[in-house]
Amino acid sequence: MSYRRLMLAAIAGFILAGNAVAQETNRQYRFVAGDDAYTLELVDVPMPTAGPGEVLVRVRATSLNRRDLMMLNNRYGAPGSADGGIPLSDGAGEVIAVGANVTRFAVGDRVAGIFFADWIDGKRDAAALASARGGGPTGMLAEVIVADEASLVGIPDHLTFEQAATLPCAGVTAWVGLFRHGRLQANDYVLLEGTGGVSTFGLVFSAAAGARPIITSSSKEKLGQARELGAFGTANYRENEDWQDEVRALTGDRGVDHVLEVGGQDTLEKALEALGYDAHIALIGGLSGFAPAIPVGTMMGLGTRATGIYVGSRADFEAMNAFIEEHRIEPAIGRVFSFDEAPAAFDFMENGSYFGKIVIRH
């Protein structure tokens, strides 16, 4: 960053920080523990300030993941551990103030928070995994947050804040599963389960890379939406209980080269039946509960590689952003709620029907 830009950023940051302080309070949601689950409480708290190496971010949008719903229902982590914490790991906004010694960002830059605030690159470790956003003081469901500059990335210019807010968890997860561990190539067959965030990212990423995504759903309407986004093939698991056979038929019985396995115990066995030789399966989620065992014999016979995926690093996020910019990819958003409607967004994730990501506009 040039000396002139540093000076302008410092001046603008001082002005905007003054405005933030003048606002005096900052609205944020918190988890409040109940008998069996949490409730969401909207509170006014003092406006944060940016210390050395930190920036203030005016959050413009956040998005939900299944993990957030599990937290709300007190089914994630130790019971009661999220009490008083700020929900949501995924958010995007603009820098409104910078602290001393900040060099990565200037006032006005558009940014998103990385999922693991301390996982910058390379192999994960226990400290990195302990830095996950959401459910603690670094959650994103607030008007303004303070963050270490290292825990943020710039966002692609062509994306809105709402679109960028969908990237940190689901986007990076799909990217890491397909490209870093799966080594996706053009013309590969990719199996995607359902039409939630990870699967729709897998769809648009693999289509952009020239691969052949095949996606499952119980909804004809959603399968139509998937075809519009580039799906090579679709399978309706409500109409066909043995949907894995339909998937294999779409590949000419060769089998798929990649699976983003998000379904868990109800889908893993069938996903393995859809696999071709020397394929990769990214073990991501357990919407129906986690499978109790992996059939080692089947996987050995097929030469299957399996990788447990838990989002990724800042370097993964930045590599994904470069791909998104190159291909002008736009994430699929199913519904947008206002900041005051945040509790309804959680309810909609649990009970509603949607394609892609659920977003809260701040």
Tell me how far the alpha carbon of residue 54 is from its chain's centroid: 23
pLDDT tens, residue by residue, 117-153: 999 999 999 999 999 999 999 999 999 999 999 999 9
Q: What is the DSSP letter of 93?
A: E
pLDDT tier for residue 289 given thresholds of 50, 70 and 90: low
Quote the tokens at residue 173: 């997860």
Mean pLDDT of the chain: 92
Residues facing 42 on adjacent strands:
29
182-308 and 3-168+332-361 share a CATH fold? no
Q: Judging by DSSP bridges, how do beta strands 305-308 and 275-283 pair with one another? A: parallel
d(CA 102, CA 150): 9
d(CA 177, CA 348): 27
d(CA 170, CA 201): 7
Q: What is the pLDDT of residue 200?
A: 98
Domain assignments of the chain as residue spans, ordered by start: 3-168+332-361, 182-308
Q: What is the DSSP string of 325-336?
A: HHHT----EEEE
Cα R_g (the chain), whole angstroms: 21
d(CA 212, CA 268): 20
Q: What is the pLDDT of residue 20?
A: 43
227 pLDDT more than 80: yes
| CB 90, CB 63: distance < 8 Å | yes
Q: Which architecture characterizes domain 182-308 according to CATH?
A: 3-Layer(aba) Sandwich (3.40)
Q: What is the pLDDT of residue 18?
A: 41
Q: What is the pLDDT of residue 299?
A: 87
User: In the block, which residue shows the tokens 């089998």?
Assistant: 255
End-to-end Cα, the chain, rounded Å: 30
| Backbone φ and ψ of 205, nearest 5° | -65, -50
Q: What is the pLDDT of residue 286?
A: 60
Count, residues in the chain: 362
CB atoms closer than 10 angstroms to residue 155: 24
d(CA 305, CA 293): 15
Residues facing 147 on adjacent strands:
55
Q: What is the DSSP letter of 167?
A: I
User: In the block, which residue shows the tokens 């960028």?
Assistant: 164
CATH class of the 3-168+332-361 domain in this structure: alpha beta
Q: What is the pLDDT of residue 188?
A: 98
| CB 142, CB 29: distance < 8 Å | yes
| CB 257, CB 279: distance < 8 Å | yes
Mean pLDDT for 150-157 is 98
User: pLDDT: is 18 or 263 the higher one?
Assistant: 263
